C-alpha cells in the first residue's frame, strides 16, 4: 500500500480501532471520511456487550477469590471495575460524542498539511510505516502477554481457572487501543507544530542574512564617504529606510500575509488540541487511575511472592517474576504514551514562543509586520497547546513522577503492614 494522503496513512491504527469498536468514522476505499455504516455500529454494540459481560464476570470472580492475599483481591477488584468502566465509557463515547470531534480533527490536520508540509508524500509514508510497525509490536506483545499470563497463573495458584483470567482481557484491549490513539494524535500534532516552527526559523534566518548584508552596505558607504574630497550638503535621507527599500530581499506585503497565515495555522492547531482534550480527557483520567492500580498490583504481587507472603509454587517462581515484569512494561508503556507526547507537544509550542520573540527583535521588518508578530505573541500567550485529564491533571513528565512516587509510598506502607 502506498499512502498518498493523510487519511490513508493512518489506516493501520484505524483497522485495529474498528475491530475493537473505537472507530467513530468509516474510511472508504478512496480514503474519504464517511459515517459508520449500520453494520459497523452493530459490531460496536456487540463489542460493548462483550466487554460488559466479561467484565461483570471478572469482577464477580475477583470477589469470590479466596486463594489470594486480601490486598491483592482488593487491588484486582478495583483494577477490573475501573478498567471495565473506562472501556465501556470509551465505546459509548465513540458511538455518541466523538464522531463530530474526530471528523473535525482529521479535517483540520488535512488543511494544516496542505500549507505546512514541504514533502507530504514522504511524510505520509513515514506515518504509515510508524503506524503499521507500532500496531504490530503493541498487539503481538499484548496477545503474547495474555497467553503467558493465563498459563503461569493457572499453574502458580491452585483452583484458578483460565476463565478467571480471560474474562479480564477484552476491556484491557479496548483501553490499550484508546491510549495508542491518543498517543498517535498528539504525536501528529507535535510534528505539525515543529513544521510551523521550521517555517518561522526559515524567516528568522532570512532576516538575519538581510541584516548582515545591510550592515556590510553601511560599512561600504561609510568608506566611500571618507574618500570623497568635497562633500556636498544635501537634504536629509533616512539611510535605514533606503537600505530596506534597496537591499532587503523581502516583499513586505507577502511577508505580512505569510505571518497572518501562520497565525491562522497555529489557531487551527489549538483547535485540534481542544478537540483531542474533549475526546480523550475523561478517558485519560480513568486510564490514569486504572494504570496506577495495575502498576501497584503488579509490584505488590512481585514483592509478595519474593517475600513469600503470597503462596506460589516453587517451580514457577521464575516464570511468575518474568510475567510480572512483562506486565510492568505494558503499564509503563501506557503511562509513557499518555505523558511523553503531551510533554513534547507542549515543549514544541514553547519553542514557537521563543522564535516569535526573536523575530520581534529583527529591525528590517516594517511596522505592519511587527504589529502582526505582536498579535502572534499575544495569541501564543492566550492560546496554548496543553493537554489535561479532564481538567484535573496536566499531562507531562511531572505527572509521571508523581504517580511513581505515590505507588512507591503505597508499597512501602503495604509491605510494612504485612511484615
Region 300-316: what's the mean pLDDT? 65
pLDDT at 281: 95
Ranked by mean pLDDT, which of 62-76, 87-101, 160-174, 290-304 comes out on top? 87-101
pLDDT at 358: 93
Least-confidence region, from 79-93, 215-229, 258-272: 215-229
Percent of the chain with pLDDT over 70: 82
Who has greater pLDDT, 259 or 311? Answer: 259
Residue 77 CA to chain centroid, in angstroms?
A: 29
CB neighbourhood size of 191 (10 A): 18
Region 163-172: what's the mean pLDDT? 89
Q: What is the 3-state secondary structure (H, E, C) of the chain?
A: CCCCCHHHHCHHHHHHHHHCCCCCEEECCCCCEEECCHHHHHHHHHHHHHHHHHHHHHHHHHHHCCCCCHHHHHHHHHHHHHHHHHHHHHHHHHHCCCHHHHHHHHHHHHHHHHHHCCCHHHHHHHHHHHHHHHHHHHHHHHHHHHHHHHHHHHHHCCCCCHHHHHCCCHHHHHHHHHHHHHHHHHHHHHHHHHHHHHHHHHHHHHHHHHHHHHHHHHHHHHHHHHHCCCCCCCCCCCHHHHHHHHCCCCCHHHHHHHHHHHHHHHHHHHHHHHHHHHHHHHHHHHHHHHHHHHHHHHHHHHHHHHCCCCCCCHHHHHHHHHHHHHHHHHHHHHHHHHHHHHHHHHHHHHHHHHHHHHHHCCCCCCHHHHHHHHHHHHHHHHCCCCCEECCCEECCHHHHHHHHHHHHHHHHHHHHHHC
Region 127-148: what's the mean pLDDT? 95
pLDDT tier at 313 (50, 70, 90 boundaries)? low
Query: What rounded mean pLDDT belongs to the chain?
Result: 84
Region 68-88: what's the mean pLDDT? 80
pLDDT tier at 300 (50, 70, 90 boundaries)? confident
pLDDT at 364: 80
pLDDT at 241: 45
Region 280-286: what's the mean pLDDT? 95
pLDDT at 250: 44
Measured distance between the N- and C-terminal CA atoms of the chain, rounded to whole angstroms: 59
Who has greater pLDDT, 411 or 43? Answer: 43
Who has greater pLDDT, 66 or 78? Answer: 78
The pair phi, psi for residue 32, each rounded to 5°, is: -110, 145
Asked if 35 and 26 touch (Cβ cutoff 8 Å), the reply is yes
pLDDT tens column, 139-153: 999 999 999 988 887
pLDDT tier at 246 (50, 70, 90 boundaries)? very low
Asked if 359 and 373 touch (Cβ cutoff 8 Å), the reply is yes
The answer for 313, left when phi > 0, alpha when psi is -120 to 50, beta otherwise, is beta
pLDDT at 190: 96
pLDDT tier at 208 (50, 70, 90 boundaries)? confident
Grid coordinates of 84: 471495565
Whether residue 193 has pLDDT greater than 90: yes
C-alpha closest to that of 83 among 297, 289, 335 = 289
Contacts of 177 by beta carbon, 8 Å cutoff, 6+ apart: 16, 17, 20, 22
Who has greater pLDDT, 315 or 277? Answer: 277
CB neighbourhood size of 356 (10 A): 22
Whether residue 261 has pLDDT greater than 50: yes
Who has greater pLDDT, 411 or 185? Answer: 185
pLDDT tier at 136 (50, 70, 90 boundaries)? very high
pLDDT at 245: 44
Region 311-329: what's the mean pLDDT? 74
pLDDT tier at 412 (50, 70, 90 boundaries)? confident
Whether residue 103 has pLDDT greater than 70: yes
pLDDT tens column, 394-407: 999 999 999 999 98
Question: Is the entire prediction scored with pTM above 0.85?
Answer: yes
pLDDT at 244: 43
Amino acid at each position: 500500500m502506498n499512502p498518498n494522503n493523510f487519511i490513508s496513512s493512518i489506516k493501520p491504527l484505524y483497522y485495529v480501532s474498528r475491530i475493537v469498536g473505537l472507530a467513530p468514522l468509516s474510511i472508504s476505499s478512496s480514503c474519504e471520511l464517511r459515517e459508520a455504516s449500520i453494520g459497523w455500529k452493530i459490531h460496536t454494540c456487540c463489542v460493548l456487550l462483550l466487554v460488559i459481560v466479561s467484565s461483570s464476570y471478572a469482577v464477580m470472580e475477583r470477589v469470590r477469590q479466596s486463594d489470594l492475599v486480601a490486598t491483592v483481591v482488593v487491588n484486582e477488584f478495583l483494577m477490573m471495575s475501573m478498567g471495565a468502566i473506562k472501556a465501556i465509557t470509551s465505546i459509548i463515547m465513540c458511538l455518541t460524542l466523538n464522531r463530530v470531534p474526530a471528523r473535525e480533527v482529521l479535517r483540520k490536520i488535512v488543511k494544516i498539511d496542505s500549507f505546512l508540509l514541504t514533502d507530504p508524500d514522504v511524510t505520509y509514508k513515514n506515518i504509515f510505516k510508524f503506524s503499521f510497525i507500532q500496531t504490530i509490536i503493541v498487539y503481538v506483545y499484548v496477545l503474547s502477554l495474555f497467553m503467558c499470563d493465563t498459563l503461569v497463573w493457572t499453574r502458580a495458584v491452585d483452583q484458578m481457572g483460565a476463565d478467571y483470567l480471560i474474562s479480564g482481557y477484552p476491556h484491557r484491549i479496548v483501553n490499550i487501543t484508546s491510549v495508542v490513539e491518543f498517543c498517535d494524535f498528539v504525536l501528529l500534532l507535535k510534528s505539525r507544530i515543529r513544521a510551523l516552527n521550521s517555517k518561522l526559523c526559515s524567516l528568522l534566518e532570512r532576516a538575519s542574512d538581510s541584516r548582515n548584508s545591510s550592515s556590510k552596505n553601511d560599512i561600504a558607504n561609510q568608506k566611500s564617504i571618507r574618500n570623497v574630497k568635497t562633500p556636498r550638503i544635501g537634504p536629509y535621507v533616512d539611510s535605514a529606510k533606503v537600505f530596506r527599500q534597496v537591499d532587503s530581499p523581502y516583499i513586505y506585503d507577502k511577508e505580512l500575509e505569510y505571518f497572518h497565515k501562520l497565525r491562522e495555522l497555529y489557531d487551527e492547531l489549538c483547535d485540534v488540541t481542544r478537540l483531542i482534550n474533549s475526546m480523550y480527557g475523561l478517558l485519560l483520567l480513568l486510564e490514569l487511575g486504572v494504570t496506577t492500580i495495575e502498576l501497584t498490583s503488579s509490584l505488590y504481587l512481585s514483592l509478595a511472592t519474593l517475600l513469600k507472603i503470597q503462596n506460589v509454587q516453587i517451580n514457577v517462581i521464575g516464570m511468575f517474576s518474568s510475567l510480572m515484569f512483562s506486565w510492568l512494561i505494558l503499564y509503563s508503556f501506557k503511562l509513557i504514551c499518555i505523558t511523553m507526547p503531551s510533554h513534547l507537544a507542549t515543549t514544541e509550542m514553547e519553542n514557537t514562543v521563543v522564535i516569535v520573540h526573536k523575530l520581534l527583535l529583527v529591525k528590517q521588518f516594517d511596522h505592519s509586520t511587527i504589529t502582526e508578530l505582536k498579535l502572534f505573541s499575544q495569541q501564543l500567550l492566550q492560546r496554548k497547546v496543553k493537554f489535561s485529564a479532564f481538567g484535573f491533571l496536566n499531562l507531562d513528565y511531572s505527572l509521571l513522577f508523581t504517580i511513581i512516587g505515590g505507588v512507591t509510598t503505597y508499597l512501602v506502607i503495604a509491605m510494612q503492614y504485612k511484615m
